Structure 1
Amino acid sequence: MPAWLPLESNPDVLTKYIHKLGVSQEWSITDVVSLEPEMLEWIPQPVKAIILLFPISENYEKHRAQEHEQIAADPGTFPDDLFYMRQLTSNACGTVAIIHSVANNKSISLSDGILKNFLENAKDLTPEERGKALENDVSFTEGHYELANEGQTVANPEEKVNHHFISLIHNGGFLYELDGRKQFPIKHGSTSDSTFVQDAAKVCKVFMARDPEEMRFTVMALTASPN
């Protein structure tokens, strides 16, 4: 598996990244400082996606294996307009999470450029083919490297990364976890535009409860840019 430089969970860097990809300046990535209900009210609205960065622990990998076994037996069906892709490039999870967050929100306008071209070319591909297309996309690779090098720490593509980005989005009245390391999208029950942030926060808390002694969790949101 080819390796990219890992992206930091830095909202300023990630905001610059989505704008470089062609996302309108009306949108940005912001920190979610607390998952408590009253604090979630302070996040700029509307919130289009929640992005979670979490440690890949032994507990999590055990859960992922069990979850895969259960879902593989009965994967169910998913909306035709749910954009899902596999992550076939090591350390590309930040980019995959951003693609999932933007691609599943049609109200986010894209200018001509890297992401719009990718989504147009990938719309009729399978999740695996989309992962391969990202791996072979020179523009995406160059943009990723440029932003990864702007982080606050020195990135090494050969260094083992023990954390992972995923995206939580709302589609058709349901909350979906989109993780390129998994074979399928994960449906986390019903949600709505008005309850999405609170519902996504509950999913994040489940991840945290799985590793109660871990502190390396970061939650961000794709939101309207502050005025």
Structure 2
Amino acid sequence: MSIWTPLESNPEVLTKYIHKLGVSSAWSVTDVIGLDEELLAMLPRPVKSLILLFPISEAYEKHRAEEHERIKAAAEPEKYPKDLFYMKQFTHNACGTVALIHSVANNKDIEIAAGVLKNFLEKGANLSPEERGQALEQDNAFTEDHQMLAQEGQTDAGAYETVVHHFIALVNKENTLYELDGRKSYPISHGKTSDETFVLDAAKVCKEFMARDPDDVRFTVLALAATQE
């Protein structure tokens, strides 16, 4: 397993990163300053994804294990849209990049210019989630872009030696809210949503993560949304 420098939850750096990868300048990463309805209403629209950064705690790992067993034991396997782009994470500290890939790849109306990301998505279209994760690990161009932006944004490398944080993406795919986490075995369905309710529905999922660790304040929520003029 290769190791990347972790991305910082810095909207300016992440926006620069997705633009370098070829995402249209019509889209940017922005801070979500609060999960109350009136604060969410301040986000530029449309919002294509919420990205949650959270500490990997004992409570989270217990929930993740129980969730895996529940899905595995289900009488019928979960059915996902054929074009849901989901990938496993094999590269250590690549979760920020994986969350951004999940956010962009599952919103077909986001224009992507020729380049690193477009090439990766085209090559990965017919691969399994595991093969996509392996392809990212072997993609030298992606590695170089990630490392360059991570070095630019990182403020305290030492902090990552003791605190492990993880990025995931929440997206609306065919009116279902999906949690896409490269450390999990499956995409996680959180039920029905719509373009109109997506932000509120995704915020509710973020609150559920926070409720599992009520004494921890190390949560950050970002949004992939229309660029403000």
1:145 to 144, 147, 159: 147
Q: Is the 8 A contact 2:176 2:191 kept in 1?
A: yes
Query: Which deviates the most, 111-120 or 145-154?
Result: 145-154
- Per the alignment, residue 79 of structure 2 pairs with 77
- Per the alignment, residue 37 of structure 2 pairs with 37
SS in 2 for 1:204: helix
Shift of 1:77: 1.1
- Per the alignment, residue 113 of structure 2 pairs with 111
Moved over 6 A (4+): none
SS in 1 for 2:39: helix
Q: Percent identity, please.
A: 66
Q: Is the 8 A contact 2:25 2:227 kept in 1?
A: yes
Query: Which deviates the most, 67-76 or 125-134?
Result: 67-76
1:179 to 172, 178, 181: 181
Q: TM-score, normalised by structure 1?
A: 0.97
Q: Is the 8 A contact 2:7 2:150 kept in 1?
A: yes
- Per the alignment, residue 88 of structure 1 pairs with 90
Shift of 1:154: 4.1
Shift of 1:173: 1.1
**Residues 15-30 of structure 1 mapped to structure 2, 5 A cutoff:** 15-30=15-30
Task: Provide the C-alpha distance between the structure 2 equivalents of 1:184 and 1:72, rounded to a whole number of angstroms.
Answer: 9
Q: Is the 8 A contact 1:91 1:161 kept in 2?
A: no
Alignment coverage as a number of residue pairs: 227
SS in 1 for 2:222: strand
Q: Is the 8 A contact 1:149 1:155 kept in 2?
A: no
SS in 2 for 1:150: helix
Amino acid at match of 2:101: I
Q: Is the 8 A contact 2:50 2:170 kept in 1?
A: yes
Please, what is the CA RMSD of the aligned residues? 1.3
SS in 2 for 1:35: coil
C-alpha deviations, 1:110-150, integer Å up to 9, x for none? 00000000000000000000000000000000000000001
1:134 to 133, 136, 143: 136
C-alpha deviations, 1:171-195, integer Å up to 9, x for none? 1111000000001000001000000
Q: Is the 8 A contact 2:7 2:154 kept in 1?
A: no
Shift of 1:161: 5.0
Task: Provide the C-alpha distance between the structure 1 equivalents of 2:187 and 2:130, rounded to a whole number of angstroms.
Answer: 13
**Residues 185-196 of structure 1 mapped to structure 2, 5 A cutoff:** 185-196=187-198
Q: TM-score, normalised by structure 2?
A: 0.96
Task: Provide the C-alpha distance between the structure 2 equivalents of 1:200 and 1:76, rounded to a whole number of angstroms.
Answer: 20
